[in-house]
Chains A and B, each alone.
Chain A
Amino acid sequence: MSSDAVEIRNLAKRYRLGERDVLHGSLRDAFSGFVANALHRARRRPRGARDSIWALDHVTFDVPRGEVLGIIGRNGAGKTTLLKILSRITEPTEGEAVIRGRVGSLLEVGTGFHGDLTGRENIFLNGAILGMRRREIERRFDEIVAFAEVDRFIDTPVKRYSSGMYLRLAFAVAAHLEPEILIVDEVLAVGDAAFQRKCLGKMGEVSGEGRTVLLVSHNMSAITSLATRCLWLDAGRVRALGPARDTVAAYLTEGHVAEQPGFADLRDPKIRVGVPKQTHKQILFESVRLLDADGRTSGVFFERDALQLELGFRSATAAGRLEVLCKFSTLEGVLVFTLASGAMDVDVEPGPFTLTVDVPALPLRRGRYVVDLYALTSLPQDDVRGAIELEISGPRGPVEDPREVRDELGVVSVDHEWGAVQSTREPAPTRSG
């Protein structure tokens, strides 16, 4: 019984880049390759082009029974690969993992849902896909429906559901899976705030019941509030493994350059989605940079930190009237505030120029925010939605209450003073920030 719930020894997964070489397999492979090549145009690949990467590079760690392990790291650090191996979706290339207990894996909310089936049918199908017995699903059916709050629509095809109902139902099934080991990937990234809170609550419940949870998230507040320990993966290797708060802090410190780079090249077509032609515009956004109080580029700030936005433009003509708007929204799309320049005359030569705007104390609470940029000129205007993201990692200094999640306090922090007044006496002010 001293055994850990999950033991991982030297686990590694290599992905080959580009197409696989069909000529180096068995006879059967050669035959299927032959069939394919005869039908395809035979594609020649240069010999020796054996590009491969270790998505997971010989990782070793244990997860004791009942622990909630947070897994963090940049995109491409191997988090999802690790979860996929542990969920048996893909095989490791080397090493081994021993898992003791029934595994419930939730890499995506609503896996296997079919739009044409009703809510009821999908509960059974999805439950069975996730590994539940039919009797278990029947037993928990009412609970699932109640959690999802879809009882009136349970016999309606889910394609007629609102996206919120769909997500709630999907999560409800997964949340009632009752696995001994729960593997969760970024599930909290979807849904509205109320739904996220419900998920967090349900997962807290799960871990409270002594189950083991492996949780991948980019939401640092979720990690610190739920996880006891945290694993930091970097380029497929274990960068750090320790108490959740320490690991997250270390990660965020480095995150100044990594996760939220604090700089975006707005000429990148990937950022400018659905904007076919920009050439005839009078003024174009070229870049955006976030700078902290020391003048360093960063995408991660603490509450009340100073922020400078540096906006790079290119002007097609000399001078002109310009109004710039920087809209800060939550990831759920709630507009929090706008920095509006008002109409101003910019007196520049054709070519690049820069505008800066200073925010002395960011009023945002912990969480991730996205900035939309608008340049209003005599038409056509330029706008870049989702130009850059920034993360507020919480108040400076130690966090008093690890369970404090952003939603409970709102998204802005407001200067205020409390006053305690005793009847017939002078007010005695106490400060609070």
Chain B
Amino acid sequence: MATEATRVADEIVIRPSTHWVDLGAKELWRARELLYFLTVRDLKVRYKQTLLGIVWAVIQPVMYMVVFTLFFSKVTTLYTAGQEYAPLALTGSVIWLFFANSVTLASTSLVGSSALITKVYFPRLLQTASPVIAALVDLALSSTVMLAIMVAYGYFPGVRVLVVIPFLLLAIATAIGVGAWLAALNVKYRDVRFVVPFLLQLWMFASAVFYSATAIDFDEPWGTLFWVNPMAGVVEGWRWGLLGGVRPEAGDVALSAAGGLVVLVAGVVYFRRKEREFADIV
């Protein structure tokens, strides 16, 4: 009986795909071990033959904090919602850099592994998701340093810190969605690699990384436009969990979450639709 079931499960019918999109969740679940190995590969390979290795994960956000603090807080007056500026910039930078690095690596994940894609079949989404998962390890490290710096500034996060978890999940979802979309687009149009740094820079300005949006009283439609950006919600929610201060409005957070979900679904659907052509084009 069991063998019969396996046999049925092992029967594969290959035919030109129709227009409906199968997200292939079952297949992804079956290949979860592969995701693990791909992530381990990404982690091990990333810092091979580098002088500072994984310390880079810490250097980046700390430098952001230093530069933002030196320049923005001195040169201009910024919305800080009554927070001290350095921790505000640091918390924002840590989560933003996780997102930005994930998206950058994910967007080149297919083009960079064309040898793999043209020679063996596996759910390609794993190839794009693995750098995002690998970036979580960097995030864990930079967060540890971030917590130490926060303590030095006198911030001792309590139970409230748990709210960063859903916001982190939202950041992961957004990174996978955007990463999948850019990776699939990159297969056909190599312009993507010029677009990504530019896009991320603009996106950073729009996501309250080095200022606090909770202090801003938006006129409509600017408020909606601002909060529909999932990373705006992520940065503000993450920061509120860590530093406290002005709590983001529930409605605004819901808007960001909805934005993130749309990005995830749209990105993955686009990816799946294009997946069948990857091997022919890449």
Contact = CB atoms under 8 A, between A and B. Distances in A.
B280 to A, nearest CB: 6
Contact of B41 (A39, A93, A100, A121): A121
A97 B14 CA distance: 5
B37 interface: yes
A125 B40 CA distance: 9
Contact of B15 (A32, A96, A117): A96
Nearest to A100: B11
Contacts of A128: 33-34, 36-38
Nearest to A39: B191
Nearest to B33: A134
Given A111-B115, A128-B34, A88 B189 contact: no
A112 B122 CA distance: 11
Contact of B121 (A15, A28, A89, A98): A89
Contacts of B16: 91-95
Given A88-B12, A91-B16, A99-B14, A114 B276 contact: no
Interface of B is mostly: helix
Interface string B11-24: 11111110000000
A117 B40 CA distance: 10
A107 B120 contact: yes
Chain A contact-residue range equals 35 or more
Interface residues of B, number: 39
Contacts of B117: 89
A97 B279 CA distance: 18
A84 B280 CA distance: 10
Given A84-B279, A124-B37, A128-B37, A89 B120 contact: yes
B74 interface: no
B260 to A, nearest CB: 20
Nearest to B7: A100
B17 to A, nearest CB: 6
B101 to A, nearest CB: 19
20 contacts: A32-B185, A32-B189, A39-B191, A39-B194, A88-B12, A88-B14, A89-B121, A90-B279, A91-B17, A93-B16, A95-B16, A97-B14, A98-B12, A107-B120, A117-B45, A128-B33, A128-B36, A129-B120, A129-B122, A180-B10
- Pairs A-B, 7 closest by C-beta atoms: A96-B15, A88-B121, A36-B189, A39-B191, A97-B14, A111-B119, A128-B37
Interface of B: 7, 10-17, 33-34, 36-38, 40-41, 44-45, 48-49, 115-122, 185, 188-189, 191, 194-195, 270, 276-277, 279-280
Interface of A: 15, 28, 32, 35-36, 39-40, 84-103, 105, 107-108, 111-112, 114, 116-117, 121, 124-125, 128-131, 133-134, 180
